[in-house]
A and B are shown apart, each in its own frame.
Chain A
Amino acid sequence: DAKTTQPTSMDCAEGRAANLPCNHSTISGNEYVYWYRQIHSQGPQYIIHGLKNNETNEMASLIITEDRKSSTLILPHATLRDTAVYYCIVRVGGGLNSGGYQKVTFGTGTKLQVIP
């Protein structure tokens, strides 16, 4: 699995958009970009994933650059409950066409602090 690079920490004002970047310059053609978050010491929670197209769900949007070497997770209106560590992961398989490879590397993530 390709390695990712994320800033160690970021602040965001409550109600504003939080833009969390991730570099994955060695990503392979069959690797997807996943985002998870971990609130305090709870188990990580899945947010969103994508291959090359931008994706949006009820939690966030994922913007992947055309060369796929970086991506940005966008929380459109950050709330205090969005304060967490956000992990960007790349791995083979996006679900619908995945086979079996399941090794995952999480890294240390970005600690997002939403400020009132």
Chain B
Amino acid sequence: EAQVTQNPRYLITVTGKKLTVTCSQNMNHEYMSWYRQDPGLGLRQIYYSMNVEVTDKGDVPEGYKVSRKEKRNFPLILESPSPNQTSLYFCASRKELSAEQYFGPGTRLTVT
């Protein structure tokens, strides 16, 4: 089944403890993105990647890192999480010559 998977789906952590949210797609898509969703602010893009080793900042990249060493994986790294990074996170991917973006199921992160 074609899909975007994220792990973990739920995470509660403490301020300053480094964490990684994984994202993987099995559709051989070139483009991958990370978004966060907060009440009243909608979906905001954090980082995106156009292919392996090619990444760029979205609208809210501060406090996040990403890497794209393999085409299928696009992990989101929080080196020192803070409470303002408590949010619902979505990973997405799409084929280069396609309009449709596929989203993962989301990761709900709470930083205390």
Contacts and interface: CB of A to CB of B under 8 A. Distances in A.
Contacts of B96: 98, 100
A106 B35 contact: yes
Nearest to B4: A43
B66 interface: no
A107 B42 contact: yes
B25 interface: no
Q: How large is the interface on B (under 10, 10 to 19, 20 to 34, 35 or more residues)?
A: 20 to 34
A49 B99 contact: yes
Contacts of A105: 44-45, 59
A41 B88 CA distance: 8
A13 interface: no
Question: Interface extent on A, as a size class?
Answer: 20 to 34
B42 A109 contact: yes
Interface string B33-63: 1010100111111001010000010110000
Nearest to A36: B101
Interface of B: 4, 31, 33, 35, 37, 40-45, 48, 50, 56, 58-59, 88, 90, 92, 96-106, 108
Interface of A: 32, 34, 36, 38, 41-46, 49, 87, 93-96, 98, 100, 102-109
The 10 closest A-B pairs by CB, nearest first: A43-B103, A106-B43, A95-B99, A108-B42, A46-B100, A102-B48, A49-B99, A100-B50, A95-B98, A44-B103
Given A102-B56, A104-B33, A104-B101, 11 more contacts: A43-B92, A43-B105, A44-B43, A44-B101, A87-B42, A95-B99, A103-B48, A104-B45, A104-B48, A104-B58, A107-B43
